[in-house]
A and B are shown apart, each in its own frame.
Chain A
């Protein structure tokens, strides 16, 4: 907290405050020490003075005391009037502990003199009490007592404190002036540095020259920063160069990619037209094989032996399969060649067609088709969408479980940026490791005897979805069923994606 507060002050004022507080502390400590020392000295010298006076008075009083002349003794004590601090004094002879001669500066309040005590000088309350034994030529004559006011000490203390405060104020002013001037030695280069760095940050120009000679550490700081700046400039330069290189490389890469893409596209097209023409051209001889083998099998069945009849059935069966395969292949290659017509379509219309197309087949296998949320209008190509649903429903019928009645559910959900179409069934399911592979062409999980198929259906779906700029994936539990997800973008997203 304290540090944070410190940060809020400027360097200048912090330095000034620092210098002033240090000098003030030093001066205050010095003054306190001086005043204490002075008070101690003054007290000591007051004691010594008082003792000296007691000795003097004692010396003068020796004879009167020895001879017992109290009048003379009092006359001598009267001389204490020249010492205004002495308020009371008295003499004791050796014979009695009662005063023998007394002195009082003012008779306003009568003072009860104490009984004689041994040699001492003590401060008690506002007074200094002195008992001093008077001797002459090693003969004890008696004791002198003096009570001395310490008001002068108090006066001195007050005067000292007053002078100290005055001195402090003067010093404060002088320190402030000197500090304001001297702080520049430190603050100037730092403020200059701040201004320079601000300028650098603002202009993003790191080639500023930084020079300073003076305080070791600050000049080192300048040197380090200018070193850092040159380093930054160097790095910046290198970075710029690298960026330039990268940009060039990127451009090259793009053109290369474009070239490759167009090459690939050309090859792909060639390949497609090749496969189309092959399948198309294969169809005519296949039809001949199929037609004649059927005629042969029908009309001349009896002229064939058992083995011949079996072979004939194989030929017919194979030619039917071949027909299917070629049809699917044709479909698949047609998809590649076909131009896509994107427009809003009623999903209901497509699904009604599907329902109509499959009603006979569903009746045969005892299955049903359920639609949910199909009154949606989606955006896409009608024939492609038709292809998708046909293939998915066909798939569901092919891979149904015999023991349960087939149930195909088609659902459509409209999300803010996409349509999500779910086609789920209660079929045999797909193990997870095949969830991606099944969309590849000719990828089959089962033999033709188990489940008949060409391995082109889901490839067709994938290709159609790709053409609609969508995504397709599957989730499935083996023995419970599969759900195919088709995510199609909303019109605005199509443009964004493009």
Chain B
């Protein structure tokens, strides 16, 4: 690049750079805000949900949240649950890349994973008392218990009530009251 042509574009480049960083930071903030809400929702949903009996028999154990796939929360989960308890237990967060890494957890957040991989994940979980939460369209119908979606700029969630109850979970009607109830669709 010659220096003559390089003067004006350098200003543009600067402006573009500023714009780029600004929009990036905004996007990051927006994303963080959305995921903060979701992270907080874990506790709120847990409040209205009763795990199958004997799940929390060992009183010393922690409440384990596992995040499968891309970590969209950043450090948010650790921040929030550093001093927040779920079901009166200390919260531990684990990040998994593959479902095979899963050994023991109470809540599994399935993040940005192709829908085709879901059956494999679910079958791996099997009858374990794990509350599965996703944020991809159609996941609830596919057998995931709870799935976040966006409506009128608010984060809402849908519940596959039958699947949840079949797995031995009990869910308060109050939670159903604010959620969309879906059914498993066999396809």
Which residues of A are interface residues toward B (Cβ below 8 A)?
59-60, 62-64, 66-67, 69, 72, 136-137, 139
Contact = CB atoms under 8 A, between A and B. Distances in A.
25 contacts: A59-B174, A60-B174, A60-B177, A62-B174, A63-B48, A63-B172, A63-B175, A63-B177, A63-B178, A64-B177, A64-B178, A66-B44, A66-B47, A67-B41, A67-B44, A67-B178, A69-B154, A69-B178, A72-B177, A72-B178, A136-B47, A136-B48, A136-B174, A137-B47, A139-B47
Given A59-B174, A64-B178, A67-B178, 4 more contacts: A63-B48, A63-B177, A72-B177, A136-B48
Contacts of B154: 69
Interface of B: 41, 44, 47-48, 154, 172, 174-175, 177-178
Nearest to A139: B47
A180 to B, nearest CB: 69
A299 to B, nearest CB: 184
5 closest A-B pairs (Cβ-Cβ)?
A: A63-B174, A63-B178, A66-B44, A67-B178, A63-B177
Contacts of B44: 66-67
Nearest to B155: A67
B161 to A, nearest CB: 15
Contacts of B178: 63-64, 67, 69, 72
Contacts of A60: 174, 177
A385 B161 CA distance: 158
Nearest to A64: B178
Contacts of B48: 63, 136
Among A59, A60, A67, A72: residue with most chain B CB under 10 A: A67
A29 to B, nearest CB: 52
A67 B154 CA distance: 10
A254 to B, nearest CB: 130
A72 B178 CA distance: 7
Contacts of A137: 47
Contacts of A64: 177-178
B7 to A, nearest CB: 51
Nearest to B157: A67
Among A59, A66, A137: residue with most chain B CB under 10 A: A66
Contacts of A59: 174
A274 B177 CA distance: 159
Nearest to B172: A63
A64 to B, nearest CB: 6
Contacts of A66: 44, 47
A15 B174 CA distance: 71
A62 B44 CA distance: 11
Among B44, B154, B172, B178: residue with most chain A CB under 10 A: B178
B83 to A, nearest CB: 15
Contacts of B172: 63
A74 to B, nearest CB: 13
A490 B178 CA distance: 137
A186 B7 CA distance: 129
B122 to A, nearest CB: 26
A127 B48 CA distance: 35
A72 B154 CA distance: 12
B52 to A, nearest CB: 18
A62 B173 CA distance: 11
Among B48, B154, B174: residue with most chain A CB under 10 A: B174
Nearest to A73: B178
A78 to B, nearest CB: 14
A63 B177 CA distance: 8
A64 B174 CA distance: 8
A139 B46 CA distance: 12
Nearest to B152: A71
A59 B172 CA distance: 12
A63 B171 CA distance: 12
A205 B158 CA distance: 114
Contacts of A63: 48, 172, 174-175, 177-178
Contacts of B41: 67
A136 B44 CA distance: 11
Nearest to B87: A137
A63 B47 CA distance: 10
Contacts of A62: 174
A136 B174 CA distance: 10
A183 B59 CA distance: 85
Nearest to A137: B47
A139 B175 CA distance: 15
A241 B175 CA distance: 119
B133 to A, nearest CB: 14
Contacts of B47: 66, 136-137, 139
A304 to B, nearest CB: 181
A198 B178 CA distance: 97
A115 B172 CA distance: 30
A139 B45 CA distance: 13
A64 B178 CA distance: 6
A72 to B, nearest CB: 6
Contacts of B174: 59-60, 62-63, 136
A66 B177 CA distance: 12
Contacts of A136: 47-48, 174
Contacts of B175: 63
A36 B175 CA distance: 45
A9 B48 CA distance: 82
Contacts of A139: 47
A69 B156 CA distance: 9
A69 B178 CA distance: 8
A63 B46 CA distance: 12
Nearest to A67: B178
B77 to A, nearest CB: 18
A63 B44 CA distance: 9
A419 B154 CA distance: 143
A136 B178 CA distance: 15
B13 to A, nearest CB: 42
B43 to A, nearest CB: 9
A137 to B, nearest CB: 6
B44 to A, nearest CB: 5
Nearest to A63: B174
A32 to B, nearest CB: 48
Contacts of A67: 41, 44, 178
